A and B are shown apart, each in its own frame.
Chain A
Protein backbone atom coordinates (compact mmCIF):
# COMPACT_ATOMS: atom_id res chain seq x y z
CA UNK A 1 0.00 0.00 0.00
CA UNK A 2 1.48 3.30 -1.08
CA UNK A 3 0.10 5.20 1.89
CA UNK A 4 2.03 3.01 4.30
CA UNK A 5 5.36 3.49 2.55
CA UNK A 6 7.76 5.75 4.43
CA UNK A 7 7.95 9.20 2.92
CA UNK A 8 9.65 12.33 4.15
CA UNK A 9 7.45 14.59 6.24
CA UNK A 10 8.98 17.62 4.54
CA UNK A 11 10.51 17.50 1.07
CA UNK A 12 13.04 20.25 1.78
CA UNK A 13 14.53 21.60 5.02
CA UNK A 14 13.17 25.09 4.42
CA UNK A 15 9.62 23.69 4.16
CA UNK A 16 10.04 22.42 7.73
CA UNK A 17 11.55 25.73 8.82
CA UNK A 18 8.82 27.96 7.43
CA UNK A 19 6.19 25.61 8.84
CA UNK A 20 7.80 25.60 12.30
CA UNK A 21 8.30 29.36 12.24
CA UNK A 22 4.60 29.89 11.53
CA UNK A 23 3.41 27.40 14.16
CA UNK A 24 5.80 28.91 16.70
CA UNK A 25 4.59 32.47 16.00
CA UNK A 26 0.99 31.31 16.41
CA UNK A 27 1.74 29.45 19.63
CA UNK A 28 3.59 32.45 21.06
CA UNK A 29 0.50 34.55 20.42
CA UNK A 30 1.56 36.76 17.51
CA UNK A 31 -1.55 35.80 15.53
CA UNK A 32 -4.57 33.48 15.74
CA UNK A 33 -4.48 30.44 13.50
CA UNK A 34 -7.76 31.26 11.65
CA UNK A 35 -6.29 34.66 10.71
CA UNK A 36 -3.30 32.88 9.23
CA UNK A 37 -5.44 30.26 7.47
CA UNK A 38 -7.64 32.93 5.92
CA UNK A 39 -4.63 34.75 4.43
CA UNK A 40 -2.96 31.54 3.34
CA UNK A 41 -6.16 30.32 1.67
CA UNK A 42 -6.45 33.61 -0.20
CA UNK A 43 -2.80 33.33 -1.28
CA UNK A 44 -3.29 29.80 -2.57
CA UNK A 45 -6.39 30.88 -4.46
CA UNK A 46 -4.62 33.82 -6.08
CA UNK A 47 -1.58 31.77 -7.10
CA UNK A 48 -3.77 28.85 -8.15
CA UNK A 49 -5.46 31.10 -10.71
CA UNK A 50 -2.10 31.68 -12.39
CA UNK A 51 -1.20 28.01 -12.59
CA UNK A 52 -2.22 24.75 -10.97
CA UNK A 53 -0.42 24.14 -7.68
CA UNK A 54 0.83 20.62 -7.07
CA UNK A 55 0.95 20.84 -3.28
CA UNK A 56 4.73 20.44 -3.04
CA UNK A 57 7.36 23.16 -3.43
CA UNK A 58 4.84 25.61 -4.89
CA UNK A 59 2.59 25.21 -1.84
CA UNK A 60 5.39 26.23 0.52
CA UNK A 61 6.43 29.10 -1.77
CA UNK A 62 2.94 30.53 -1.35
CA UNK A 63 3.16 29.81 2.40
CA UNK A 64 6.39 31.84 2.62
CA UNK A 65 5.04 34.68 0.49
CA UNK A 66 1.94 34.94 2.71
CA UNK A 67 3.97 34.78 5.92
CA UNK A 68 6.26 37.56 4.66
CA UNK A 69 3.33 39.83 3.88
CA UNK A 70 1.55 38.94 7.15
CA UNK A 71 4.67 39.78 9.18
CA UNK A 72 5.06 43.05 7.27
CA UNK A 73 1.41 43.86 8.02
CA UNK A 74 1.98 43.09 11.71
CA UNK A 75 4.98 45.42 11.75
CA UNK A 76 7.33 42.56 12.66
CA UNK A 77 9.50 42.34 9.54
CA UNK A 78 9.52 45.06 6.90
CA UNK A 79 10.17 43.87 3.31
CA UNK A 80 13.31 45.99 2.89
CA UNK A 81 14.73 44.62 6.13
CA UNK A 82 13.97 41.04 5.07
CA UNK A 83 15.69 41.64 1.74
CA UNK A 84 18.72 43.17 3.44
CA UNK A 85 19.12 40.25 5.86
CA UNK A 86 18.51 37.73 3.05
CA UNK A 87 21.29 39.38 1.06
CA UNK A 88 23.55 39.27 4.12
CA UNK A 89 22.93 35.53 4.44
CA UNK A 90 23.66 35.04 0.74
CA UNK A 91 26.91 36.96 1.09
CA UNK A 92 27.83 34.93 4.16
CA UNK A 93 27.40 31.68 2.25
CA UNK A 94 29.31 32.93 -0.77
CA UNK A 95 32.25 34.17 1.29
CA UNK A 96 32.53 31.24 3.72
CA UNK A 97 35.06 28.64 2.61
CA UNK A 98 33.47 25.27 1.89
CA UNK A 99 33.28 23.14 5.02
CA UNK A 100 33.41 26.00 7.51
CA UNK A 101 30.39 27.14 9.53
CA UNK A 102 28.44 29.95 7.91
CA UNK A 103 28.13 32.91 10.24
CA UNK A 104 26.15 36.06 9.57
CA UNK A 105 27.86 39.32 10.30
CA UNK A 106 26.94 40.01 13.90
CA UNK A 107 27.54 36.42 14.88
CA UNK A 108 24.32 34.54 14.00
CA UNK A 109 25.16 31.01 12.84
CA UNK A 110 23.42 29.25 9.99
Chain B
Protein backbone atom coordinates (compact mmCIF):
# COMPACT_ATOMS: atom_id res chain seq x y z
CA UNK B 1 0.00 0.00 0.00
CA UNK B 2 1.33 3.43 -0.81
CA UNK B 3 2.05 5.98 1.84
CA UNK B 4 -1.00 7.73 3.17
CA UNK B 5 -0.85 11.00 4.93
CA UNK B 6 -3.60 12.62 6.90
CA UNK B 7 -3.24 16.33 6.78
CA UNK B 8 -5.19 18.85 8.73
CA UNK B 9 -5.66 22.55 8.24
CA UNK B 10 -3.60 24.44 5.71
CA UNK B 11 -3.41 27.84 4.09
CA UNK B 12 -4.67 29.01 0.75
CA UNK B 13 -1.62 30.82 -0.55
CA UNK B 14 -1.19 30.27 -4.27
CA UNK B 15 2.07 29.10 -5.71
CA UNK B 16 1.71 26.35 -8.26
CA UNK B 17 0.92 27.93 -11.56
CA UNK B 18 -0.52 25.26 -13.81
CA UNK B 19 0.48 27.17 -16.90
CA UNK B 20 4.14 27.01 -15.86
CA UNK B 21 4.58 23.48 -17.03
CA UNK B 22 3.96 24.47 -20.59
CA UNK B 23 5.31 28.00 -20.49
CA UNK B 24 8.74 26.74 -19.46
CA UNK B 25 8.83 23.97 -22.01
CA UNK B 26 11.77 24.77 -24.26
CA UNK B 27 11.07 25.24 -27.92
CA UNK B 28 11.89 22.20 -29.95
CA UNK B 29 15.21 22.61 -31.76
CA UNK B 30 13.32 22.00 -34.92
CA UNK B 31 13.59 23.80 -38.20
CA UNK B 32 10.32 25.50 -38.97
CA UNK B 33 10.71 24.64 -42.61
CA UNK B 34 11.51 26.91 -45.48
CA UNK B 35 10.46 26.22 -49.00
CA UNK B 36 14.05 26.41 -50.20
CA UNK B 37 15.29 23.94 -47.60
CA UNK B 38 17.89 21.75 -49.35
CA UNK B 39 17.43 18.62 -47.24
CA UNK B 40 14.87 16.82 -45.11
CA UNK B 41 14.06 18.57 -41.83
CA UNK B 42 16.42 17.29 -39.17
CA UNK B 43 14.49 16.07 -36.11
CA UNK B 44 15.72 17.25 -32.69
CA UNK B 45 18.60 15.30 -31.14
CA UNK B 46 16.49 13.29 -28.67
CA UNK B 47 14.23 12.17 -31.52
CA UNK B 48 17.30 10.84 -33.35
CA UNK B 49 18.44 9.04 -30.20
CA UNK B 50 15.03 7.34 -29.87
CA UNK B 51 15.20 6.36 -33.54
CA UNK B 52 18.65 4.91 -32.93
CA UNK B 53 17.37 2.75 -30.05
CA UNK B 54 14.39 1.63 -32.10
CA UNK B 55 16.61 0.79 -35.09
CA UNK B 56 19.06 -1.24 -33.00
CA UNK B 57 16.37 -3.15 -31.11
CA UNK B 58 14.30 -3.79 -34.23
CA UNK B 59 17.35 -5.25 -35.98
CA UNK B 60 17.79 -7.59 -33.01
CA UNK B 61 14.15 -8.64 -33.15
CA UNK B 62 13.51 -7.21 -29.67
CA UNK B 63 11.20 -4.47 -30.96
CA UNK B 64 8.29 -4.70 -33.36
CA UNK B 65 7.70 -1.22 -34.84
CA UNK B 66 4.05 -2.12 -35.54
CA UNK B 67 3.53 -2.86 -31.84
CA UNK B 68 5.01 0.55 -30.98
CA UNK B 69 2.64 2.22 -33.44
CA UNK B 70 -0.29 0.36 -31.89
CA UNK B 71 0.69 1.56 -28.42
CA UNK B 72 0.91 5.17 -29.61
CA UNK B 73 -2.45 4.89 -31.36
CA UNK B 74 -4.06 3.42 -28.25
CA UNK B 75 -2.85 6.20 -26.00
CA UNK B 76 -3.58 8.97 -28.48
CA UNK B 77 -7.07 7.87 -29.49
CA UNK B 78 -8.53 5.13 -27.30
CA UNK B 79 -7.49 5.77 -23.74
CA UNK B 80 -8.38 8.85 -21.77
CA UNK B 81 -10.23 10.22 -18.77
CA UNK B 82 -13.59 9.20 -20.23
CA UNK B 83 -12.76 5.61 -19.18
CA UNK B 84 -12.37 6.67 -15.56
CA UNK B 85 -15.42 8.93 -15.82
CA UNK B 86 -17.55 5.96 -16.88
CA UNK B 87 -16.37 4.02 -13.81
CA UNK B 88 -17.06 6.92 -11.45
CA UNK B 89 -20.51 7.60 -12.92
CA UNK B 90 -21.48 3.95 -12.54
CA UNK B 91 -20.24 3.97 -8.94
CA UNK B 92 -22.50 6.95 -8.28
CA UNK B 93 -25.51 5.32 -9.91
CA UNK B 94 -25.11 1.75 -8.71
CA UNK B 95 -24.45 1.00 -5.03
CA UNK B 96 -23.57 -2.64 -5.68
CA UNK B 97 -21.00 -1.61 -8.28
CA UNK B 98 -19.56 0.99 -5.92
CA UNK B 99 -19.22 -1.56 -3.13
CA UNK B 100 -17.34 -3.95 -5.43
CA UNK B 101 -15.16 -1.11 -6.76
CA UNK B 102 -14.16 -0.03 -3.27
CA UNK B 103 -13.40 -3.60 -2.32
CA UNK B 104 -11.41 -4.66 -5.40
CA UNK B 105 -11.04 -1.96 -8.04
CA UNK B 106 -8.44 -3.97 -9.98
CA UNK B 107 -10.94 -6.76 -10.66
CA UNK B 108 -13.78 -4.40 -11.48
CA UNK B 109 -11.89 -2.17 -13.92
CA UNK B 110 -10.26 -5.23 -15.51
CA UNK B 111 -13.73 -6.65 -16.21
CA UNK B 112 -14.50 -3.40 -18.00
CA UNK B 113 -11.35 -3.75 -20.11
CA UNK B 114 -9.41 -1.01 -18.31
CA UNK B 115 -6.72 -3.33 -17.03
CA UNK B 116 -3.27 -2.16 -16.09
CA UNK B 117 -0.87 -3.04 -18.85
CA UNK B 118 2.01 -2.83 -16.43
CA UNK B 119 0.42 -5.29 -14.01
CA UNK B 120 -0.36 -2.71 -11.36
CA UNK B 121 -3.23 -2.74 -8.90
CA UNK B 122 -5.89 -0.07 -8.91
CA UNK B 123 -7.31 1.24 -5.65
CA UNK B 124 -10.39 3.46 -5.58
CA UNK B 125 -10.49 6.10 -2.86
CA UNK B 126 -13.79 7.79 -2.22
CA UNK B 127 -14.33 11.43 -1.32
CA UNK B 128 -16.90 11.94 1.41
CA UNK B 129 -18.32 14.82 3.40
CA UNK B 130 -15.42 14.34 5.85
CA UNK B 131 -12.52 13.50 3.58
CA UNK B 132 -11.00 14.67 0.32
CA UNK B 133 -8.48 12.44 -1.46
CA UNK B 134 -5.77 13.47 -3.88
CA UNK B 135 -3.14 11.50 -5.73
CA UNK B 136 0.51 12.13 -6.51
CA UNK B 137 3.51 10.07 -7.49
CA UNK B 138 6.52 11.34 -5.60
CA UNK B 139 8.79 8.74 -7.21
CA UNK B 140 8.13 9.54 -10.85
CA UNK B 141 4.70 9.78 -12.45
CA UNK B 142 2.82 6.55 -11.77
CA UNK B 143 -0.75 7.09 -12.88
CA UNK B 144 -3.77 4.89 -13.74
CA UNK B 145 -3.16 5.03 -17.49
CA UNK B 146 -6.01 2.71 -18.54
CA UNK B 147 -8.49 4.91 -16.67
CA UNK B 148 -7.07 8.40 -17.20
CA UNK B 149 -4.66 8.21 -20.15
CA UNK B 150 -1.31 9.96 -20.13
CA UNK B 151 -0.83 12.30 -17.17
CA UNK B 152 -0.80 16.06 -17.78
CA UNK B 153 2.56 17.84 -17.54
CA UNK B 154 1.74 19.42 -14.19
CA UNK B 155 1.27 15.94 -12.64
CA UNK B 156 4.83 15.12 -13.73
CA UNK B 157 6.34 18.43 -12.60
CA UNK B 158 8.69 18.68 -9.64
CA UNK B 159 6.45 21.41 -8.22
CA UNK B 160 3.36 19.21 -7.95
CA UNK B 161 5.26 16.10 -6.90
CA UNK B 162 6.97 17.95 -4.08
CA UNK B 163 4.11 20.15 -2.93
CA UNK B 164 1.16 17.75 -3.09
CA UNK B 165 2.42 15.93 -0.02
CA UNK B 166 3.87 18.93 1.83
CA UNK B 167 1.08 21.46 1.35
CA UNK B 168 -1.90 19.82 -0.34
CA UNK B 169 -4.36 22.56 0.62
CA UNK B 170 -2.20 25.18 -1.03
CA UNK B 171 -1.94 23.05 -4.14
CA UNK B 172 -5.71 22.56 -4.14
CA UNK B 173 -6.19 26.32 -3.82
CA UNK B 174 -3.99 26.79 -6.90
CA UNK B 175 -6.41 24.54 -8.74
CA UNK B 176 -9.29 26.65 -7.48
CA UNK B 177 -10.44 24.11 -4.91
CA UNK B 178 -11.04 25.41 -1.40
CA UNK B 179 -12.24 22.85 1.11
CA UNK B 180 -13.90 23.42 4.48
CA UNK B 181 -11.26 23.60 7.23
CA UNK B 182 -12.68 20.57 9.01
CA UNK B 183 -12.49 18.35 5.95
CA UNK B 184 -9.45 16.08 6.06
CA UNK B 185 -7.18 15.84 3.02
CA UNK B 186 -5.58 12.49 2.32
CA UNK B 187 -2.71 12.33 -0.16
CA UNK B 188 -2.05 8.97 -1.78
CA UNK B 189 1.43 8.35 -3.16
CA UNK B 190 1.25 6.11 -6.22
CA UNK B 191 3.82 3.45 -6.88
CA UNK B 192 4.71 1.28 -9.83
CA UNK B 193 2.49 -1.38 -8.25
CA UNK B 194 -0.49 0.65 -7.00
CA UNK B 195 -2.37 3.40 -8.82
CA UNK B 196 -5.23 5.33 -7.26
CA UNK B 197 -8.52 6.54 -8.68
CA UNK B 198 -10.35 9.21 -6.72
CA UNK B 199 -14.13 8.82 -6.68
CA UNK B 200 -15.28 12.43 -6.33
CA UNK B 201 -18.45 13.30 -4.43
CA UNK B 202 -21.56 13.11 -6.55
CA UNK B 203 -22.82 16.63 -7.24
CA UNK B 204 -26.11 17.68 -5.71
CA UNK B 205 -29.06 18.01 -8.06
CA UNK B 206 -28.24 14.90 -10.09
CA UNK B 207 -30.81 12.55 -8.59
CA UNK B 208 -32.20 10.17 -11.18
CA UNK B 209 -29.50 10.95 -13.79
CA UNK B 210 -28.31 8.03 -15.87
CA UNK B 211 -24.67 6.95 -16.15
CA UNK B 212 -23.99 8.75 -19.44
CA UNK B 213 -25.29 12.03 -18.14
CA UNK B 214 -23.41 11.64 -14.86
CA UNK B 215 -20.12 10.81 -16.59
CA UNK B 216 -20.11 14.23 -18.27
CA UNK B 217 -19.69 15.76 -14.80
CA UNK B 218 -16.54 13.75 -14.03
CA UNK B 219 -13.39 15.63 -14.98
CA UNK B 220 -9.89 14.26 -15.16
CA UNK B 221 -8.76 16.50 -12.30
CA UNK B 222 -11.65 15.33 -10.11
CA UNK B 223 -10.31 11.77 -10.44
CA UNK B 224 -6.78 12.90 -9.45
CA UNK B 225 -8.28 14.88 -6.60
CA UNK B 226 -7.10 18.30 -7.78
CA UNK B 227 -10.65 19.17 -8.81
CA UNK B 228 -14.25 18.42 -7.94
CA UNK B 229 -16.94 16.96 -10.15
CA UNK B 230 -18.78 19.62 -12.13
CA UNK B 231 -22.10 20.89 -10.85
CA UNK B 232 -25.10 20.20 -13.11
CA UNK B 233 -25.17 23.90 -14.09
CA UNK B 234 -21.53 23.89 -15.27
CA UNK B 235 -21.72 20.72 -17.35
Contact = CB atoms under 8 A, between A and B. Distances in A.
Contacts of A110: 40, 51
B142 A100 contact: no
Interface in B106-154: 117-120, 139-142, 149-150, 152-154
Contacts, number: 208
A28 B62 contact: yes
Contact of A20 (B44, B51, B68, B156): B68
Interface of A: 1-4, 7, 9-14, 16-21, 23-28, 30, 33-34, 36-38, 40-41, 44, 48, 52-61, 64, 67-68, 71, 76-77, 81-83, 85-86, 88-90, 93-100, 102, 104, 108, 110
A67 B53 contact: yes
A24 B40 CA distance: 28
Contact of B219 (A4, A33, A37): A4
Contacts of B75: 9-10, 16, 19-20
20 contacts: A3-B219, A3-B221, A17-B50, A19-B75, A20-B69, A20-B71, A25-B63, A38-B192, A40-B140, A44-B139, A52-B157, A53-B156, A53-B157, A55-B157, A59-B141, A76-B57, A77-B57, A97-B38, A98-B41, A110-B40
B139 A25 contact: no
Interface in B1-31: 18, 20-22, 24-26, 28
Contacts of A16: 72, 75-76
A2 B62 CA distance: 40
B18 A2 contact: yes
Nearest to B36: A98
Interface string B207-228: 0000000000001110000010
B50 A1 contact: no
B107 to A, nearest CB: 19
B56 A82 contact: yes
Given A93-B43, A98-B37, A14 B155 contact: no
Contacts of B119: 33
B234 A1 contact: yes
B40 A100 contact: yes
Interface of B: 18, 20-22, 24-26, 28, 37-58, 60, 62-64, 67-69, 71-72, 75-76, 80, 117-120, 139-142, 149-150, 152-160, 191-193, 219-221, 227, 230, 234
B49 A82 contact: yes
B142 A37 contact: yes
B56 A41 contact: no
Nearest to B157: A55
A19 B24 CA distance: 21
Contacts of B160: 55
A36 B22 CA distance: 26
A87 B203 CA distance: 56
